[in-house]
Amino acid sequence: DARVTQTPRHKVTEMGQEVTMRCQPILGHNTVFWYRQTMMQGLELLAYFRNRAPLDDSGMPKDRFSAEMPDATLATLKIQPSEPRDSAVYFCASGLVASGHSSNQPQHFGDGTRLSIL
Amino acid sequence: KNQVEQSPQSLIILEGKNCTLQCNYTVSPFSNLRWYKQDTGRGPVSLTIMTFSENTKSNGRYTATLDADTKQSSLHITASQLSDSASYICVVSVNEGTYKYIFGTGTRLKVLA
């Protein structure tokens, strides 16, 4: 089965450091999502891309977070500088959405990056 | 305010029993409703997706229902197995030009032998 691959699986670093999380979407999928999950807030959508173009990043703190898709096989989420409140599990998901159609397609999630900022 | 509420927060049942999880939402304009299963330490896995016009959808032993009038959905698990122990998350998507996803906080299910 094709899977979304996220690296690293775990990251522990000190506050103020830059953190980069990577995601390889399923080949052929044209939509990539970044989510954050915490015990307190549950799952939250941070940003998503369609055909590598950012469509919505309103869920993402703009001052320190950035998301990019340098090519169709790689999506990145960066935090700079990181803060303890950024500690969470970050999930990437990908899906296939036909142009002009609604999002009634399943999203396929990776197993996440567990981030701890000390 | 767009909200999705799930109940119960947690549930313990014996293997082989059935159970029903609830999801109530106040979301507009509604696009679709999804149920996900999330095992500990893993990403969510899609179980069902229902649009406004669909009122039931099955995936093996999982059956989701949707009442768009009362804005309620349920996920029924038949003949539960130990592997059903997981969190079940209800997600409603909103079409506001771009799509917004409103997540419930989940129901944590434990199936005991």
Predicted local distance difference test score (pLDDT) of residue A90: 98
Mutate which: B98, B102, B107, vs A, most A CBs within 10 A: B98
Strands A74-79 and A19-24, bridge-based pairing? antiparallel
Q: How confident is the model at residue A1 (pLDDT cuts 50, 70, 90)?
A: confident
Mean pLDDT calculated for residue range A76-92: 97
Contact list, B62 vs chain A (CB under 8 Å): none
Size of interface A-B (CB pairs under 8 A): 50
Contact list, A105 vs chain B (CB under 8 Å): 49
Q: pLDDT 10s digit of each residue in chain B, 113 long?
A: 889 999 999 999 999 999 999 999 998 888 899 999 999 999 999 999 999 889 999 999 999 999 999 999 999 999 999 999 999 999 998 877 777 889 999 999 999 99
Compute the half-sphere exposure of residue A40: CA atoms within 13 Å on the CB side of its CA.
4
Burial of A107 (0-12, 13-18, 19+ CB in 10 A): buried
Instruction: Quickly count: other Cβ atoms within 10 Å of residue B88's Cβ.
Output: 24
Distance (Å, rounded) from C-alpha B24 to C-alpha B67? 10
Predicted local distance difference test score (pLDDT) of residue A41: 86
Which phi and psi angles does B96 have, rounded to 5°?
A: -115, 45
HEC per residue, B13-51: EECCCCEEEEEEEECCCEEEEEEEEECCCCCCEEEEEEE
Distance (Å, rounded) from C-alpha B53 to C-alpha B24? 17
Contact list, A106 vs chain B (CB under 8 Å): 34, 46, 49
Is the per-residue pLDDT at A102 higher than 60? no
Closest to A104 (Cβ–Cβ): which among B44, B49, B101?
B49
Distance (Å, rounded) from C-alpha B52 to C-alpha B107? 23
Predicted local distance difference test score (pLDDT) of residue A99: 60
Is the per-residue pLDDT at A100 higher than 70? no
The proportion of chain A whose per-residue pLDDT surpasses 70, expressed as a percent, equals 95
Predicted local distance difference test score (pLDDT) of residue A54: 87
Please check whether residue B80 is in contact with residue B11, taking contact to mean a CB–CB distance below 8 angstroms: no
Mean pLDDT calculated for residue range A36-51: 91
- Which residue in B has a C-alpha nearest to residue A105's C-alpha? B49
Distance from CA of B75 to the nearest CA of A (A): 17
DSSP letter at A62 equals: T
